Amino acid sequence: MKGWVIIVCGVAAVGKTLFSLKLAEKLGVEFIDLPNLVKEMKLYEYYDEASREYVVDFRKVSSKLGSILKGKKTIIASVNPFKPRGIPVRLVIVLRLRPDILMRRLIEKGYPEWKVAENMLAEIVDKPLYDTVRKFGRRKVIQIDVSEKNIDELVEEFYSVYVSSNLESLNAKVDWINELEKTDAYSEILQFLAKYG
């Protein structure tokens, strides 16, 4: 049996784990949360105290996943895009979240302010899109705007366009600066980000 992966990317707390888990259930395929796997299998280089994160060794991740995913169909949730060695990447889904909602969610999750700002800036400058397109090419990447959307409805919506090969209809054109300018939160967000810019 020929295996493949779908990789779900995005900045912290956009909903990668939840979306991937539910999509894997819906498609009847395996699910892997990369941060967990990295810890369990020690696929990191070291733990960085300053950023409070494991620094991932993507060569190890690529080779390990290449062997454990052989012949399987899997949805992988990961902040950073990567290629499992020898396994076809069917699609890369980038989840996008309006930065004011992202800000609230990261603060709720107890992230330190500088990390809230770091993730918001990455989201505002389209870093997840840039990184995934650079690695996989534009045709493999689809963006989904998850702002103010119910996760079960999002999965259903994705499933229907996926099975009808109509993914482009879901592909979001994201312009957060333009969206934020319309909200009351804009100047507050700029002031917050300026502290860490």
* Interacting residues toward ligand ATP by CB under 6 A: 10, 12-18, 35, 77, 79, 105, 146, 149, 151
- Residue closer to Mg ion by CB (options 77, 174) is 77
- Residue closer to ligand ATP by CB (options 13, 76) is 13
Q: Which of ligand ATP, Mg ion, none does residue 128 bind (CB under 5 to 8 Å by kind)?
A: none
Closest CB 148 distance from ligand ATP, rounded Å: 8
Q: Which of ligand ATP, Mg ion, none does residue 15 bind (CB under 5 to 8 Å by kind)?
A: ligand ATP
User: Cα dist. 45→27, 52, 89, 104 in Å?
Assistant: 33, 13, 25, 31
- Residue closer to ligand ATP by CB (options 10, 99) is 10
SS3 6: strand
Cα distance between residue 156 and residue 65, in whole Å: 28
Binding residues vs Mg ion (CB under 5 A): 16-17
Cα distance between residue 133 and residue 130, in whole Å: 5
- Residue closer to ligand ATP by CB (options 85, 171) is 171
Q: Which of Mg ion, ligand ATP, none does residue 3 bind (CB under 5 to 8 Å by kind)?
A: none
Residue whose CB is nearest to ligand ATP in the complex, by number: 15
Q: Give me the DSSP letters along 92-156.
A: EEEEE--HHHHHHHHHHTT--HHHHHHHHHHHHTTHHHHHHHHHH-GGGEEEEE-TT--HHHHHH
Q: In this structure, what DSSP letter does residue 76 have?
A: E
